[in-house]
Amino acid sequence: MVTTDDPNGREPAAQGAQATRVHGRAQQHAGGDLTEELLTSDWWTDAMVQHAGIPIVDVPLVSVGGGIGSFVTVDYLRIAGVAPDHIRVLSNIDFPWQTYEYLTRVSQIPRGERIRSDSASRPDNIWGFPSYALAEAVHDRTLGPLWQVLVEPIWADYYTPRAGQVFAGLEREAKRIGFPQMVVNGQVRMVRRRQGGGYFTILTPPSDAPPSDAQPTQRVAYRSSFVHLAVGYPGLRFLPELQEFRTEHHDFHHVVSAYEDHEHVYNLARTKHVVVMLRGGGIVASRVLQRLMDDREKFGLSTQIVHLFRTYVSGSHGPNAWNRRKGGNGFAYQGFNYPKSVWGGQLKSRMRKLEGDDRARAYKLMGGTNTPFRRRWQAQMRAGREAGWYRTMSGTVKQMRLADGMVISEVETAEGLIEVAADFVIDCTGLEADIAEHRVLADLFEHSGAGRNPLGRLDVERDFQLRGADSGTGVIYASGATTLGGYFPGVDTFLGLQIAAQEIADDLARRGFCGRIGTLRSTAQWLRWAFGRAP
Ligand SMILES: Cc1cc2nc3c(=O)[nH]c(=O)nc-3n(C[C@H](O)[C@H](O)[C@H](O)COP(=O)(O)OP(=O)(O)OC[C@H]3O[C@@H](n4cnc5c(N)ncnc54)[C@H](O)[C@@H]3O)c2cc1C
Q: What is the pLDDT of residue 210?
A: 58
CB neighbours (10 Å) of residue 37?
Answer: 12
Most ligand 1 atoms within 8 A of CB, residue of 492, 495, 497, 499 to mutate: 492
What is the 8-class DSSP label of residue 427?
A: E
Q: What is the pLDDT of residue 3?
A: 33
Q: Which of 431, 141, 389, 144 is nearest to 279 (CA)?
A: 431
Q: For residues 451 and 433, give the distance between their C-alpha atoms in angstroms, rounded to a whole number.
A: 17
Kindly give the distance from the C-alpha atom of residue 70 to the centroid of ligand 1, in angstroms, as a whole number: 10
- 55-107 tens-digit pLDDT: 999 999 999 999 999 999 999 999 999 999 999 999 999 999 999 999 999 99
Most ligand 1 atoms within 8 A of CB, residue of 64, 68, 435 to mutate: 68
**Which contacts of 27-35 are long-range, i.e. CB under 8 A and separated by 24 or more positions?**
27/56, 28/53, 28/54, 28/55, 29/53, 31/218, 32/217, 32/218, 32/219, 33/218, 33/219, 34/189, 34/202, 34/219
What are the pocket residues of ligand 1 if the criterion is a CB atom closer than 6 Å to any ligand atom?
65-70, 90-93, 99-100, 103-104, 107, 115-117, 121, 187-188, 230-232, 440, 480-481, 492-494, 497
Q: What is the mean pLDDT of the chain?
A: 91
Asked whether 242 and 81 are in contact (CB, 8 A), the reply is no
3-state DSSP of 287-314: HHHHHHHHHHHHHCCCCEEEEEECCCEC
Kindly give the distance from the C-alpha atom of residue 73 to the centroid of ligand 1, in angstroms, as a whole number: 13
Q: What is the pLDDT of residue 15?
A: 40
Mean pLDDT (whole number) for 41-61: 97
Which DSSP string corresponds to 339-354? -GGGTTSHHHHHHTT-
Q: For residues 413 and 306, give the distance between their C-alpha atoms in angstroms, rounded to a whole number.
A: 14
CB contact burial 118-146 (16+ within 10 A = b; e otherwise): bbbbbbbbbeeebbbbebbbeeeeeeebb
- 407-453 tens-digit pLDDT: 999 999 999 999 999 999 999 997 678 999 999 999 999 999 999 99
Kindly give the distance from the C-alpha atom of residue 256 to the centroid of ligand 1, in angstroms, as a whole number: 21
From atom 25 of ligand 1, which residue's Cα is the shortest distance away?
A: 69
Q: For residues 301 and 406, give the distance between their C-alpha atoms in angstroms, rounded to a whole number.
A: 19
Mean pLDDT (whole number) for 339-366: 89
Residue 141, φ and ψ in degrees, nearest 5: 50, 55
Distance between terminal CA atoms of the chain? 38
Could you tell me how many helices (H) and strands (E) the chain has, helices first?
18, 24
Q: Which of 406, 432, 376 is nearest to 306 (CA)?
A: 406
**HSE toward the beta carbon, residue 302, CA cutoff 13 A:** 4
Q: Which of 304, 252, 296, 289 is nearest to 270 (CA)?
A: 296
pLDDT of 28 strictly over 50: no
Task: Name the residue type at position 77.
Answer: L
Least confident of 12-16, 149-153, 339-343, 405-409: 12-16
